[in-house]
Structure 1
Amino acid sequence: MLRIGSHLSSSKGYLSMGKEALQINANTFQFFTRNPRGGNAKAINKDDIKCFLSLAENENITPILAHAPYTLNACSADPALRDFAKRTMADDLARLEYTPGNMYNFHPGSHVKQGVEVGISYISEMINEILTPEQHTIVLLETMAGKGSEIGGRFEELKEILNRIELSQHMGICLDTCHVWDGGYDIANHLDEVLTEFDKIIGLQHLKAIHLNDSMNPLGAHKDRHAKLGEGHIGLDTFKRIVNHPVLKSLPFYLETPNNLDGYAREIQMMRESSI
C-alpha cells in the first residue's frame, strides 16, 4: 500500500491534521514543530494528542514526520545560533515523545565559510549531545541542494555525519527529490544509478522517508525551488517510477509542493493511481 501524505499546518493541533490527512486521502503527513522561521512551540494539548492517537490507530495514519524550523542551523559560525539549534531540537524531541514511533527531519545547516569539515563536526557534536537511548523518534538528515555553504548536498557529507553519531540506531536520511536533482543527482534519467550510489556511500537501510517534490530548476542548479509534480524539470513519469521502485515503494512519501489542500489531494490521487 502506498503511504503518502502532504505537509499540513499544525496551528490547529494534531487531531485537525489527522482529519485533514483523511480529507485528502492521505495516510501520513508532515508538519512543522513550530513556526518555520523559529520561535516558541505551542503548549502540548494532551487531550488533542489522545484523540489524534486514537484516530491515527483507527485510520492507520503513520508514520508522521515532524520538520524542524528552517532557522535551526547546527553548524552556524555563531555559538548563540548553535545553542538555539541544540535547545530547539532537544525540546522538539522531548515533545515528540507524546507521539512515539515517528520521525523528525531537519536541514543539516550551512557552515558559512568555516568549511565542510567544521560544519560536519558541529552537527554531529550537537546530535550526540541530544540523542538518548530511550527516545522513540528517528531523527532524519535531509538531502540538500548544495546551495551556498549548505551541508548535505553530497551523499558523502551525510554519511560522514552518520559515521560520527554514537546512537546511530536513532538516525536516518530523508531524500528530497527536488534537492537531490538540484544537487546534481539525475533521478529522472538515472534513478537506479543514483540509488546504487546512495547505497554504496550511505546504505539504503538508512533511507527512511522521501520528500516528493518537482523542481523549478534544471539538473545541478543548486537553487532549491519546489514545483508541483509534473510541472517542473524532473517530470511526472519520474515520480511514478519512484513510488513504484522496489527499494522505495515501502517508504513513506511526503509532498512539499506549492499547493493548497485540493492540490495535495490531486497529487496524492495521481500517485495512488500510478501505484502498482
Structure 2
Amino acid sequence: MAALLLIENNAGAGSDMGITFEELSQVRSLTDNPNKIGFCLDTCHAYASGIYTGDNWNELEEKGEELDYLPHLKAIHFNNSKYPFLSRKDRHANLLSGHIKKEQLQHLLASKKLKSIPFIVETPKDEGITHQSEIQWMKSSIE
C-alpha cells in the first residue's frame, strides 16, 4: 500500500491559501495522482480561519460531501483554539479550555460522517492537562 499525502487546512496566519474545502479539493483534483492525496482537518485551524463557527458543522459536512472533501478526509487533528473565531492565529488550546465550546466539540465527536476517521489529540502540554484525560473526556462524550 502506498502512502498518502495528507493536506491540512490552514488557519490563515500569513496566507489565505488552503483555508477552504473548495481550495483543498481543487488542489487535489488538479494533481496528476489525486488518489494519492487525502485531507487532515485541524479543528483549531478551521475555527481560526472562519470556516468552522462551532455551530455550523452540519453545513460543513454537506459542503464537504459536495466538494469531494469528506470522502478523502483521513485524519482529524482535534484541538481547541486559544484565540477567538476568525483570529487567523494558529494557537492550539486544550480541548476544554479554548474558545470552541465543549458542546460544539461533542457535536463533532458525535458526527456519523466522522465515526471511522481517527481523531488525533493535538493539544499543548503547558496547562497541566494530560492527553490521557482529554482522550478519556472524548470517550465519555461519545458513549
Select the structure with the greater relative contact order (CA < 8 A; seq sep ≥ 6).
2
- What residue number does 1:190 align with? 56
Which structure 2 residues correspond to residues 180-219 of structure 1 after superposition, within 5 A? 180-219=46-85
1:41-94 superposed Cα distances (whole Å, 9 cap, x missing partner): xxxxxxxxxxxxxxxxxxxxxxxxxxxxxxxxxxxxxxxxxxxxxxxxxxxxxx
CA distance in 1, matches of 2:74, 2:61: 13
- Structure 1 residue 229 displacement after superposition: 0.3
TM-score between the two structures when normalised by the length of structure 2 = 0.90
Structure 2 unaligned runs (5+)?
none
CA distance in 1, matches of 2:53, 2:112: 15
Q: In the alignment, residue 274 of structure 1 is paired with which amino acid?
A: S
CA distance in 2, matches of 1:202, 1:145: 21
Q: In the alignment, residue 268 of structure 1 is paired with which amino acid?
A: I
Residues 211, 254 of structure 1: 8 Å contact kept: yes
1:267 aligns with 2:134: yes
Which structure 2 residues correspond to residues 84-163 of structure 1 after superposition, within 5 A? 136-149=2-15, 151-163=17-29
CA distance in 1, matches of 2:92, 2:10: 12
- Structure 1 residue 237 displacement after superposition: 1.6
Output the aligned Cα RMSD: 1.8
CA distance in 2, matches of 1:155, 1:136: 24
CA distance in 2, matches of 1:249, 1:272: 12
CA distance in 1, matches of 2:3, 2:73: 15
- What residue number does 1:58 align with? none
Q: In the alignment, residue 137 of structure 1 is paired with which amino acid?
A: A
* Total equivalences in the alignment: 142
- What residue number does 2:30 align with? 164
- Structure 1 residue 202 displacement after superposition: 3.6
- Structure 1 residue 234 displacement after superposition: 0.6
- Structure 1 residue 165 displacement after superposition: 1.6
Query: If you compute each CA radius of gyration, which structure gives the higher value, 1 or 2?
Result: 1
- Structure 1 residue 195 displacement after superposition: 1.7
